[in-house]
Chain A
Amino acid sequence: DVKVTQSSRYLVKRTGEKVFLECVQDMDHENMFWYRQDPGLGLRLIYFSYDVKMKEKGDIPEGYSVSREKKERFSLILESASTNQTSMYLCASSFDRAGGNEQFFGPGTRLTVL
Chain B
Amino acid sequence: AQKVTQAQTEISVVEKEDVTLDCVYETRDTTYYLFWYKQPPSGELVFLIRRNSFDEQNEISGRYSWNFQKSTSSFNFTITASQVVDSAVYFCAPHYGQNFVFGPGTRLSVLP
Partners in one complex: no
Residues of B within 8 A of A (CB): none
